[in-house]
């Protein structure tokens, strides 16, 4: 299954530089990698549901130690099979992906961080 690839320019939690963070989302896992220092966060799929409310709206303004990243991408939904806007929210503890068309929502749990040795 092909991944959804995104970029988000922000301050890296590891090297502190304002650079692109490379985001790859697969059906069962997701990665966020700094384009400068290579620090990578691994996320694993935890729950899948049809979201009757809006989990993105509920979670996006919650205060956390690190900033929440809010992104969107037009992609073919795995549930409704339609090319539609997918809302993506990345927090320090997890990643939410929600289809705006059918409410199909996936939650990925933060698993680990890997910092390459230089
Ligand atoms: Zn970095
Ligand atoms: Zn959908």
Which pLDDT tens digit goes with each residue over 61-115? Answer: 999 888 899 999 999 998 999 999 999 999 989 999 999 999 999 999 999 999 9
Distance 117 CA to ligand 2 centre (A): 40
Q: How far is Cα 24 from Cα 64, in angstroms, rounded to an integer?
A: 22
Q: What is the DSSP letter of 58?
A: H
pLDDT at residue 1 in the model:
64
Cα Rg of the chain (Å, integer): 14
Distance 75 CA to ligand 2 centre (A): 9
Residue located via tokens 């040795």:
117
Distance 105 CA to ligand 2 centre (A): 8
Q: Is the pLDDT at 23 greater than 90, yes or no?
A: yes
- Helices (H), ranges, 12-118: 55-60
More confident of the two residues 92 and 34:
34
Distance 54 CA to ligand 2 centre (A): 13
Distance 50 CA to ligand 2 centre (A): 9
- Helices (H), ranges, 1-118: 55-60
Distance 49 CA to ligand 2 centre (A): 11
Nearest to 8 by CA among 79, 91, 113, 99: 91
More confident of the two residues 46 and 78:
46
Cα angle 96, 99, 102 (rounded to 5 degrees) comes to: 130
pLDDT at residue 118 in the model:
66
Average pLDDT over residues 22-38: 97
Distance 55 CA to ligand 2 centre (A): 14
Q: Which three-class secondary structure state does DSSP give residue 22?
A: strand
pTM comes to: 0.93
């Amino acid at each position: 299954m092909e991944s959804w690839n995104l970029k988000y320019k922000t301050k890296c939690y590891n090297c502190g530089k304002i650079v692109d963070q490379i985001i790859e989302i697969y059906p069962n896992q997701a990665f966020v990698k700094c384009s400068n220092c290579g620090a990578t966060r691994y996320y694993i799929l935890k729950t899948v549901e049809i979201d009757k409310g809006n989990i993105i709206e509920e979670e996006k303004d919650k205060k956390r130690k690190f900033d929440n990243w809010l992104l969107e991408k037009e992609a073919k939904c795995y549930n409704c099979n339609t090319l539609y806007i997918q809302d993506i929210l990345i927090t320090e503890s997890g990643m939410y992906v929600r289809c705006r068309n059918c409410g199909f929502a996936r939650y990925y749990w933060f698993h680990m961080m890997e910092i390459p040795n230089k």
